[in-house]
């Protein structure tokens, strides 16, 4: 890879990062840490696949922290208005985590950032 091509890719990466960071200036996203964002992205991945993530499943995600830490992060995301907890239709003891419209807007904004940077490479 030529130096010019490599520099162009690096430039695109930092433009993408700048766009994503500007998304995080929205009031509910200002205090979103990388750990909270990883958990939100997990919830979003399940939602995007047409499924929902249960609280119990989230608690078993060791790469996101201990169950107590994950529970605190879920509460934090809920307080920010990014997730809701719903009772499962199949089992009333089971709580399902769903992204709110604000979280979906955040995902959409990130997708637009990717699309914008991708257009610049074409």
Share of the chain above pLDDT 70, in %: 88
Residues 59-111: tens digit of each pLDDT: 999 999 999 999 999 999 999 999 999 998 888 999 999 999 999 988 888 78
**What contacts 44, CB < 8 A, 6 or more positions away?**
99, 103, 104, 107
| First and final C-alpha spacing in the chain | 17
Q: Is the pLDDT of residue 25 over 60?
A: yes
Residues 83, 46: Cα–Cα separation, whole Å: 13
Average of per-residue pLDDT values in the chain = 86
User: Which pLDDT score is estimated for 29?
Assistant: 63
User: Which pLDDT score is estimated for 51?
Assistant: 94
Q: How far is CA 77 from the centre of its chain?
A: 10
């Amino acid at each position: 890879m030529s130096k010019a091509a490599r520099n162009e890719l690096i430039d695109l990466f930092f433009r993408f990062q700048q766009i994503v960071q500007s998304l995080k200036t929205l009031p509910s996203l200002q205090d979103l840490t990388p750990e909270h964002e990883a958990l939100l992205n997990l919830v979003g991945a399940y939602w995007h696949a047409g499924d929902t993530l249960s609280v119990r499943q989230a608690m078993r995600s060791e790469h996101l922290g201990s169950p107590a830490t994950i529970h605190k992060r879920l509460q934090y995301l809920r307080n920010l208005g990014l997730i809701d907890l719903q009772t499962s239709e199949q089992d009333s003891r089971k709580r399902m985590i769903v992204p709110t419209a604000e979280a979906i807007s955040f995902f959409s904004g990130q997708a637009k950032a990717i699309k914008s940077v991708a257009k610049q490479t074409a």
